[in-house]
C-alpha cells in the first residue's frame, strides 16, 4: 500500500487517528500536510521529520472555509499538488441526552463533523483532479449507522458523512477521484479518553469493547490502516463506501448478553432433523 510520491492532507492530525494516519502515510512514502486546531499538530510533524519524512503543520479550523482553502493552498505550494485527502477532524458535541441538546451544540457539531468534510471535498477535489485522480477519505463512525454508539448530535453528523461520501463520489464521476468513509467503532483517542480513564479508575478496563466479538476497543493505528488502504492504489475500485472498523460491533442486532449461543443452538435444532 505505497503512497510514494503522493501528497496527503490530513485533518485532526494532532492526536488519535489523525496522528496515527499521518505517521503511517508518511512511512508509506507520502508528503504530509498535517492540519489541526491544536498545537499538538506540530509534534506530529516533528515525529514525521525525525523519522526522515516530509511534512508541514497547518493550524486550522476544519469547519472554516477560509482555513480549508488555505490548507489546500499550502499543500499545493509546499509539495506541488494534492493526491490524498483524509477529512478526519471531529468533535462529539458533549455527552448529553437527546432532550438536553441545544441548537448551538448541534450547529457546532455539524459544522465541524459534516460541513468540514464537505469543505475538504469541495476545495481538495479540484486539486486532486489536476493530478489525474486520487483518494478522499472521511472519518464517519458506527454511530452514523445506527443508535447506540454516540450522542444524538454526533451520530446524526456521522450519518451525514456517510451520505456525503456517496453523494460526492457520484458528483465526481469520471474524474478519477474516489471518495470513501471509514467508520470506527470504540477507539482509544483523545475523544474517548474520559471513558477509558473512568473505566480504568473503576477497575473495569476489561469491559471496554465487551459488546463486540473482539472483546476490546480499537487502537488509532487500526483505523489508520484502513485509511491507508483506501488512500492507496490497492483500493483503486473502492468508491462511495462506508467501511466499518469496529471489531464486529455493527454486524449484530441487539441481543441479551449470553444468548448468542442459545440462538445458534436453537437454529441448529431447526435446521437439522
Identify the pLDDT of residue 260: 52
Q: Is the model more confident about 115 or about 194?
A: 115
Identify the pLDDT of residue 97: 87
Neighbours of 152 (CB within 10 A): 19
Q: pTM (2 decimals)? A: 0.88
Write out the H or E segment, with its range, that includes residue 242. Answer: strand 242-245
Quote the distance between the C-alpha of residue 206 and its chain's center: 25
Q: Is the model more confident about 237 or about 202?
A: 237
Mean pLDDT of the region 74-91: 97
Phi and psi at 109, nearest 5°, equal -65, -45
Residue 273: pLDDT over 50: no
Per the CB < 8 A criterion, the answer to whether 37 and 62 are in contact is: yes
Identify the pLDDT of residue 259: 53
Domains and CATH numbers, the chain: 7-271 (3.40.50.720)
Identify the pLDDT of residue 199: 59
Identify the pLDDT of residue 96: 84
By residue count, the chain amounts to 273
Question: Which tens digit of pLDDT belongs to each residue from 3-22?
Answer: 999 999 999 999 999 999 99
271 pLDDT band (50/70/90 cuts)?
very low
Distances (CA, A) of 187 to 17, 22, 31, 183: 9, 17, 26, 11
Phi and psi at 244, nearest 5°, equal -80, 135
Catalytic residue at 196? no
218 pLDDT band (50/70/90 cuts)?
confident
How many Å from the N-terminal Cα to the C-terminal Cα in the chain? 49
Alpha helices (H) along 28-64 = 41-50
Residue 194: pLDDT over 90: no
51 pLDDT band (50/70/90 cuts)?
very high
Residue 203: pLDDT over 80: no
Identify the pLDDT of residue 238: 98
Q: What percent of the chain has pLDDT above 90?
A: 71
Identify the pLDDT of residue 257: 57
Q: Is the model more confident about 265 or about 41?
A: 41
Candidate list 34, 124, 154, 180, residue with the active-site label: 154
Mean pLDDT of the region 115-122: 98
Question: Which tens digit of pLDDT belongs to each residue from 127-137?
Answer: 999 999 999 99
Classified as helix, coil or strand, 31 is: strand
55-59 sheet: strands from edge to edge: 55-59, 31-36, 7-11, 84-87, 134-139, 177-184, 242-245
Mean pLDDT of the region 160-179: 98
Amino acid at each position: 500500500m505505497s503512497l510514494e510520491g503522493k501528497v496527503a492532507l490530513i485533518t485532526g492530525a494532532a492526536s488519535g487517528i489523525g496522528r496515527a494516519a499521518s505517521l503511517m502515510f508518511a512511512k508509506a512514502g507520502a508528503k504530509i500536510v498535517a492540519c489541526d486546531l491544536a498545537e499538538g499538530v506540530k509534534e506530529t510533524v516533528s515525529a514525521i521529520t525525525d523519522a526522515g519524512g516530509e511534512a508541514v503543520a497547518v493550524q486550522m479550523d476544519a469547519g472554516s472555509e477560509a482555513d480549508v482553502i488555505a490548507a489546500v493552498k499550502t499543500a499545493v505550494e509546499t509539495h506541488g499538488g494534492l493526491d490524498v485527502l483524509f477529512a478526519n477532524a471531529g468533535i462529539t458535541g458533549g455527552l448529553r441526552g437527546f432532550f438536553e441538546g441545544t441548537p448551538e451544540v448541534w450547529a457546532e457539531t455539524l459544522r465541524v463533523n459534516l460541513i468540514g468534510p464537505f469543505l475538504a471535498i469541495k476545495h481538495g477535489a479540484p486539486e486532486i483532479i489536476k493530478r489525474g485522480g486520487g483518494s478522499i477519505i472521511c472519518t464517519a463512525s458506527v454511530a452514523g449507522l445506527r443508535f447506540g454508539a454516540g450522542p444524538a448530535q454526533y451520530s446524526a453528523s456521522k450519518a451525514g458523512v456517510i451520505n456525503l461520501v456517496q453523494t460526492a463520489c457520484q458528483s465526481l464521476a469520471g474524474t478519477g477521484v474516489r471518495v470513501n468513509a471509514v467508520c470506527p467503532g470504540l477507539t482509544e483517542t483523545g475523544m474517548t479518553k474520559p471513558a477509558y480513564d473512568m473505566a480504568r479508575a473503576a477497575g473495569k478496563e476489561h469491559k471496554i469493547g465487551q459488546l463486540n466479538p473482539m472483546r476490546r476497543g480499537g487502537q488509532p493505528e487500526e483505523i489508520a490502516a484502513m485509511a491507508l488502504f483506501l488512500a492507496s492504489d490497492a483500493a483503486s475500485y473502492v468508491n462511495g463506501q462506508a467501511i466499518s472498523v469496529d471489531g464486529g460491533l455493527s454486524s449484530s442486532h441487539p441481543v441479551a448478553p449470553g444468548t448468542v449461543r442459545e440462538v445458534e443452538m436453537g437454529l441448529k435444532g431447526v435446521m437439522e432433523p
